[in-house]
Amino acid sequence: MSLPYASGVQFRPVHTPDSLPRARNPSKSLAPSFSTASSSRGAQMDPFDHFILPGLDKEHPQSDLDGLSSDSDTHPFRSRLLDYEDAEYDRYRGNLYRDESSKLALLLEKIKEDPRGKRKLLGCMRTQLVEFACDTVADKMKVRRSSSLLSGLQVITPTFIEEWQLDEEVDTTPFLTQILKTAAQTEHGKLHNKIKKPEKICQVITRQLLYQSSNRCLAFQAEFGLFLWATGSARQTIDALFRCGLSICYDCVLNLVESLATHCMRRAVLMSNLPHSFNYDNLNISTSIFVEQRGAAGPAKVQSGTFGILYKLRNAHPEHMLIAPIMKRFQGIKRDRVQPRYQAIFRSPLRIP
């Protein structure tokens, strides 16, 4: 009695090694042939070619794969060939899973061409796809986290603020970014939106996730916290955004402001020894608490003051700033402009009415 064949699959007689138990009728076995002899096509047949080569199922088109037996004596292919613990068939699995092999990918593409096969394949792979996505994101975030760590607020200097930007030259988490973009807009919006783009939002969300996984990835949060403080945001607002992972806490913002002031003073001391310009600016700071305690006609609670600013002069040379040549030229210009006018007055005849 012959065993049924699977539609789309043709099996050849197996040449079982001496160490394997032999089937009762090897000539009718459904296991693929592992013989090294050349096939009718003139080349060695790979055992997995049965799954991906078309036109090999003409004899039994109505058979069902579920009808195949899983008996290890008659089907070493199903019981041992794909078993990663069976070292005897490891070279066949290596041939299937090697990087340059396209057999497995072609097999999956053939299944996806049929809507029923695609639906069945996605249903079987859904759990594995979720696990694959999680592993991929975890690996990429680990790399990005290692490149985004800061030792503390003290490394955030004026130079760091000037050079830092939200956009990155290379996106080290493209898989996560693509998932966020897909969740951030619909297909209709992707085709028709001209102004609303999800790129910035996805970058901010990624920064939030980095800060959530490690509070040392705080470059964006420190920058945004300084922006909130400089624009007069209330302490409660900054702390609420800190809970959302968008900013550092209010106390850390104040510590960062003090650290930046120290760095600015050091830069001013160094700049004072170089060609510079000294100017003044006014400062008004509101000291009102969260609930206003003044009437409509009362003055606002502010502190006013004046502070000095040092500006570095570009392309300046110390010899160009000597006071003696400047005063000499100034006096010469003034004399040249004043003397001719007075000489004209003295030379004119005195007219007496």
Region of 288 please: left (phi>0), alpha (psi -120 to 50) or beta: beta
Runs of H (alpha helix) within the chain: 49-52, 76, 90-97, 103-113, 115-148, 158-163, 174-184, 187-192, 199-213, 219-230, 235-243, 250-272, 323-347
What pLDDT sits at residue 70? Answer: 46
What DSSP state is assigned to residue 291?
A: S
CA atoms within 13 A on the CB side of 182: 6
Rounded to whole angstroms, how far apart are CA atoms 170 and 335? 64
Domain map (residue ranges) of the chain? 26-113, 126-260
Longest dimension (CA), the chain: 151
What pLDDT sits at residue 11? Answer: 44
Quickly list DSSP for 17-71. Answer: -TTSPPPS-GGG--SPP---SB-TTSSBPPTTHHHH-TT--SS-TT--GGGS---
Distance set, CA 297 to CA 293, 294, 300, 303 (Å):
12, 8, 9, 18
- Could you tell me which residues are beta bridge partners of residue 21? none
What pLDDT sits at residue 292? Answer: 53
What pLDDT sits at residue 214? Answer: 92
- Could you tell me which residues are beta bridge partners of residue 279? 309
Strands 302-312, 276-286: pairing is antiparallel
Block mean pLDDT (10 aa), the chain, length 353 = 44 46 43 42 50 45 44 52 77 82 85 89 86 91 91 90 86 90 87 85 93 93 93 91 94 94 89 85 68 57 80 83 84 66 52 48
What pLDDT sits at residue 249? Answer: 94
What pLDDT sits at residue 15? Answer: 46
